[in-house]
A and B are shown apart, each in its own frame.
Chain A
Amino acid sequence: MRTTGQDQKKVYNLSQRLHVDVPLLIGILLLLALGLFIVYSASGQETAIVYRKARSIGVALFGMFIVAQIPPLVYRKWAVPVFVLGLLMLVSVLLFGHVGKGAQRWLDLGFIKFQPSEIMKLIVPIMIAWYVSQENLPVKISTVILAFILVLLPTLLIAKQPDLGTSLLIASSGIFVIFLAGASWRLIGVCVGLASAFVPILWMFLMKDYQKQRVLTFLNPEQDPLGSGYHIIQSKIAIGSGGLEGKGWLKGTQSQLEFLPERHTDFIFSVFSEEFGLIGVAVLLTLYLFVVMRGLWIAVNAQHAFTKLLAGSLTLTFFVYVFVNIGMVSGLLPVVGVPLPLVSYGGTSMVTLMLGFGILMAISTHRRFHV
C-alpha cells in the first residue's frame, strides 16, 4: 500500500510537471476512443474517415498539451485586446467572409482559412471572467448589464452569419460566467423574462427561413415525413429500435443502410444508440457526467476568481454541447448544428473543445505556482 501511495505521488508529481490533469485526460481519451469506433461504423466502415479523425485527435491533443503549459493568469492580461481582435474578425467575416453551405463562417487569410467564431468560444468566457472578476463577488447589477452587452455583441454577430449553434454556445459560455459569479436570483429571473421577450424578435428578424423551418419541423416532425421531418423521424427510429442492448456494433440497420442523415457528424448519437442501446447510452452519459464533475472540481479548487469562473464556464459549455446535441437527435430540441462533443467527426469544433480542456488543465496544475 505504501509503495502504491508513493507511486501515486510520483505520477501526481509527473502530471503536475507536465500540466496534465490525469482524471480529466482519462475521461477525454475514453470519449475520443469511443468516437473513433462509432465514426468507423457511422461512416459505413470507411477507414479513411477514421484516419482523418485520428489525425485531428492527435493535433487536438497536442494543442491541448501546449495550452496547458501556459499559466492561466496570462489570459487575463490579454483578455481585452484578444476580445477586441475577435470582434473585428467577426465583423470582417460578415463583410468579406467565405460562403459555404449558405452561411458565412470562414475567414480566408490567404494562407489559412478559419472560423473566428470557434476562437470566440474560448475568448468570450475569458473576457467575461476577466471582466466580472475585477471586483469582489457576487457581481453587481451594473457589472452584469455590461457583461451581458459584452456577451451579446459576438453572439449577434455569429447569429447573423448565420450559425445558431455556435452563437448559442457562446451566449451560454458568457451567461455561465455571470451565473457562477453570483448574479442575484432576482436578476436571473428578470433576464429569463427578457430572453423570452427576445424570442419573437429572434424569430422575426434574425432567423433565416431554414432555421425557422427546423423549429417548425421540431414542433411536428411527422407533418412532412419525407421532407424536413425526415431527419428527426429517422433519428428517433434509429434510437428507439436500438432497444435496451442495441443491434450491435456495425449492425445498426438505420445507419448502415443510410436511412440516417449526417450519420458521422451531428447524428452520431443516433448511430451509437442504435448499435449500443440504452446500456451504451448510460455509459456515454456517465462519461460525460464524469468529465463535467472533474471540470467543476477543478473550478471549485481553483485559487482565483478568474480561473474559477473560466474553468466553470468552459465545463458547463462543454455540457451544453452534450445537451443540445442529444436533445436534438432524440426530438427534445429543434435541430441546431451542434456536434456531440469529442465523439462526432469534425476537426474544428473538437480542436476548440480540446484547447478549452488545455485551459482547464492549466488551471488545475498551475495553481500551486502562480497564486
Chain B
Amino acid sequence: MSPRRVVIRNQSAEANLFARRAFIAFTGVVLVVLILFGNIYSLQVESFEKYQTRSNSNRIKILPVAPNRGLIYDRNGVLLADNKPVYSLEVIAEDVDNIKASIIEVSKLLNITPERQSKFFKSMKQKRRFKPVELHSHLSDQQVALFSVNQHKYPGLFVNARLKRYYPFSDLTTHNLGYVARINPKDAKKLALAGKSENYAATYGIGKLGIERYYEDILHGSIGHQEVEINNQGRVIRTLNYTPPVPGKDLILTLDIELQMIAKRALSGKRGAIVAMDPRTGGILAMYSNPSYDGNLFVHGISNTNYNKLRNSKDSPFVNRSIQGYPPASTVKPFLALTGLEENIVTASTEVYDPGWYQLNGLPNKYRDWKPWGHGMVNLTKAIEQSCNIYFYDLAFKLGITKISNMMERFGFGDYTGIDIHEESKAIMPSVAWKRARYNQPWFTGETLSVGIGQSFWTVTPLQLAQALTTLVNRGERKIPHLLKAKSELIIEGNGNAYHQLTPITYEPRAPLKLKEDSHWEVVLNAMHNTAQKPTATAYAPFKGSQYDASGKTGSAQVARRKQGEKYDAKTTSENKRDNAMFIAFAPYDKPEIVVTVAIENVAKGGGSTNAGPVVRQIMDQYFGDRVITRQAHKAKPIVDSAIKTIPQEAD
C-alpha cells in the first residue's frame, strides 16, 4: 500500500507530540468523568427524594383488607347469620394467553355451567385492567382440589378464599334478616354517594334486605390495609405493614328462634304471617311470613332458574306478609269501640238492637250481620264478644270517618311502625282526604259503615296490629316495634385480652296515647278477655284449656267485593277470593307479656277463630312453655350476655 522508504524518525519530537496529545486526551477523559459524576450526583443527591418516592410507588402497594361482618344472634345466643369460608375461582385476563380456550378448558375440568361462563364473559367486558373477574363464586371442595392439582396449566386463574354469609336457619329467618349479596353497580353508586366507597374497597357483599340492610353500617366494620411489596409483575413479595380491619359489631336480636320455628310450623301449607311481640318493650319475639325462601341462594348469586321460580310463584314468597297490608276485619273492633267511648258516642252500657241487618235512612242497601237472625240487644262488651257487625255499623255511622281515622292514626294505623327493617308498608288508613287524593272522589257514608267492621279501603299490617294491640294492653303507652336487642363489640385490650362488650339498645318510648277517661281501657280490654274466656264468645275455642289467661279478638276479612245479598260459600269461591282469617291476642290478662297477631289468606272453611286461632294458641303455648318444645332446654341455654362471651373469635 504505502511506499517502502526509510523514514528518518525524530523520536523525541514524536514522543513529545504524542505526550501532548495523550495529555489532552486524558484531560478530556477527566472532564467526561466529571460530567458523568455530576449527572449521577444530581440524580442521587439533588433529585434523591423524587426518585426515592418513585421507587417506592413502584414497589409498594396498599391492599385493602375486608373486615369480618358482624354475626347475628337470636335473643338466646343462637347464631342466625354466620360467616363461612367459600372458595371462588377468579381470572386475571391480562395473565392469560388465550382467555377463551382457557375458560372452556377449565370449565370442562371443573364442570362449570355454560350459564356461568357466559356471565363471566359478560362481566369481562366491563372490568378494569388487572382486576380479577369471578368465574365461579363457590367451588366445592372437590372442585378446589381438582383445580389445585391442575393450576399450573392455567396461569392467571386462581382460587380465592373469602368469608361469605351463611344463614343456618335458611328460609326461617330470611324475611327478618334479609341477606347479603354481591355489591352491584347500583349499590356501588350509592356507596360512592355516601362517601363509603373506600371502606368497601375489599368488601364482596352488602346487606340487601331486612336487618342486614338496615344495620349495614354496624355489621360491616372498617376496612384494614396491608402494605405489600410487589415486583414488576405485580406479584406480592412480602408484607411491609398491616393495619388490621375492625370487624363489624355482632347483633343480638329480640327474636326467639324456637318461637319462630313454631310460627313456621303453624303456618305450614298456608299463606300468611305471624307477629309475636313483647308489649313491655316492643321487641319482636317472632315474625314469620309464609311461604318464605332461602336467603343463602342470594348470597352465592342466585341462578336465573331459581330466581324465576320464586318470582313467578303464585304464593309470592318474596313478600314479607307480616309488614304488608291486610283488611283487618273484626280485629279492629276493640279499637273502634274505644274510639266510641272516647268520643262519647257510646258508654259501656249503651245498647243497640241487632235484627241481623243494618240499613241507612232512606237507602235500600242492607248491611248484614254475620249471624242472619241477629244478636238482639247488644252493648259494647257483647258486641266485641260476639263480633256484632250491626253495633259497629251504627257506631261507625255515628262517629264518622274523620273521628275514626284520627283515632286509628293515634294507634299507628296507616303509618310506618318504625321497625328496623326497610321493607315495611304503611298500609292504608282511609280518610276523606285520603280518598280525595287517591281516587279524587268524595267519601261515602256507606264506606264509613264498612270501615266500622274493618273493611272498605282499610288495610293494616300484622305488625301494625301488634303495635296497636301493644298500645291497648299498655293502656296508651306506645312502643316502637324492633328486632335489635343489643350490639356486641369485640374489645381487644392493650395486654391482648379480648372480650365482647354488650351494648343493649334502648328505644325511646313514643308519646303515649292519653284518653279522657282511663276506665275506657279497662272496658275494652275486659271485653277482649271475655271474648277468649267466655264459652259463648268467638275466641273461646282456640284457648280452651290454656293456662295463661289469654284475651283476643277474631276477624274474617272479605277479600272480594260481593253483590248485595250474595251468599258467601268458600267452597264455591275461587281460592284467591276466599276470606282471610285474622286474629289478635295477648296474655296474660294481667301484666301482658306477649301480643300475637295472625293473618291467614284465603281460608277454605271457617273464619278467624277456626283458622288463625289455633295458630295463636301454638305460639302462646310455646311462649308460656306448656308443650311442643320443652321450655327446659330453652332455659338451660345461657342468657344472652354470657352466651356471647363464649363465641370463639379470631384475634385479627
Query: A residues bordering B, Cβ < 8 Å?
Result: 80, 131, 134-138, 176, 179-182, 234, 236-244, 253-254, 257-259, 273, 277-278, 281-282, 285, 288-289, 292-293, 296, 299-300, 305, 308-309, 312, 316, 319, 322-323, 326-327, 330-332
Give Cα distance in the complex from A239 to B30, angstroms.
21
Task: Given A257-B230, A281-B44, decide whether A296 and B17 contact each other with a Cβ distance below 8 A.
Answer: no
Residues of chain A lying within 8 A (CB to CB) of residue B349:
none
Q: Does B50 contact A (CB under 8 A)?
A: yes
Q: Are A327 and B36 closer than 8 Å at their CB atoms?
A: yes
Residues of chain B lying within 8 A (CB to CB) of residue A176:
25
Give Cα distance in the complex from A227 to B445, angstroms.
83
Residues of chain B lying within 8 A (CB to CB) of residue A240:
43-44, 47-48, 50-52, 54-55
Q: Does B363 contact A (CB under 8 A)?
A: no
A-contacting residues, B250-308, CB 8 Å: none
> Count of A-B contacts with CB under 8 A?
145
Q: Are A241 and B36 closer than 8 Å at their CB atoms?
A: no
Task: Given A182-B21, A238-B55, A296-B25, decide whether A273 and B40 contact each other with a Cβ distance below 8 A.
Answer: yes
Task: Give 1 or 0 for each of B34-54: 1 = CB within 8 Å of chain A CB.
Answer: 011101110111011011101
Give Cα distance in the complex from A296 to B26, angstroms.
8
Give Cα distance in the complex from A241 to B51, angstroms.
5
Give Cα distance in the complex from A262 to B469, angstroms.
81
Q: Tell me the minimal C-beta distance from B397 to chain A in angstroms.
A: 83
A-contacting residues, B102-149, CB 8 Å: none
Give Cα distance in the complex from A176 to B7, angstroms.
23
Residues of chain A lying within 8 A (CB to CB) of residue B15:
300, 308
Tell me which of B7, B21, B25, B231 contacts A136 (CB under 8 A): B7
Q: Tell me the minimal C-beta distance from A218 to chain B in angstroms.
A: 14
Q: Tell me the minimal C-beta distance from A294 to chain B in angstroms.
A: 11
Q: Tell me the minimal C-beta distance from A304 to chain B in angstroms.
A: 9
Q: Are B21 and A281 closer than 8 Å at their CB atoms?
A: no
Q: Are A319 and B40 closer than 8 Å at their CB atoms?
A: no
Q: Tell me the minimal C-beta distance from A286 to chain B in angstroms.
A: 9
A–B Cβ pairs within 8 angstroms, 12 of them: A176-B25, A237-B51, A240-B51, A243-B48, A253-B58, A253-B59, A253-B229, A258-B232, A259-B58, A278-B44, A293-B26, A300-B19
Residues of chain A lying within 8 A (CB to CB) of residue B58:
234, 237, 253-254, 257, 259
Give Cα distance in the complex from A229 to B11, angstroms.
52
Counting contact residues on chain B (CB < 8 A from A), the size range is: 35 or more
Residue on B with the closest CB to A242? B44
Q: Does B639 contact A (CB under 8 A)?
A: no
Give Cα distance in the complex from A257 to B58, angstroms.
9
Q: Tell me the minimal C-beta distance from B515 to chain A in angstroms.
A: 78
Residues of chain A lying within 8 A (CB to CB) of residue B37:
281-282, 285
Give Cα distance in the complex from A299 to B18, angstroms.
9
Task: Given A258-B233, A332-B36, decide whether A319 and B29 contact each other with a Cβ distance below 8 A.
Answer: yes
**5 closest Cβ pairs, A-B complex:** A240-B51, A241-B55, A257-B231, A240-B43, A258-B232
Q: Are B59 and A259 closer than 8 Å at their CB atoms?
A: yes
Q: Are B14 and A253 closer than 8 Å at their CB atoms?
A: no
Task: Given A236-B51, A241-B48, A258-B231, decide whether A292 and B29 contact each other with a Cβ distance below 8 A.
Answer: yes
A-contacting residues, B387-442, CB 8 Å: none
Give Cα distance in the complex from A131 to B3, angstroms.
11
Residue on B with the closest CB to A282? B37
Task: Give 1 or 0 for each of B511-533: 1 = CB within 8 Å of chain A CB.
Answer: 00000000000000000000000
Q: Are B18 and A300 closer than 8 Å at their CB atoms?
A: yes
Q: Are B25 and A179 closer than 8 Å at their CB atoms?
A: yes
Q: Tell me the minimal C-beta distance from A300 to chain B in angstroms.
A: 5
Tell me which of B2, B19, B47, B229 contacts A257 (CB under 8 A): B229
> Most A CB atoms within 10 A — which of B36, B37, B45?
B36
Q: Are A278 and B45 closer than 8 Å at their CB atoms?
A: yes
Residues of chain A lying within 8 A (CB to CB) of residue B36:
285, 322-323, 326-327, 330, 332
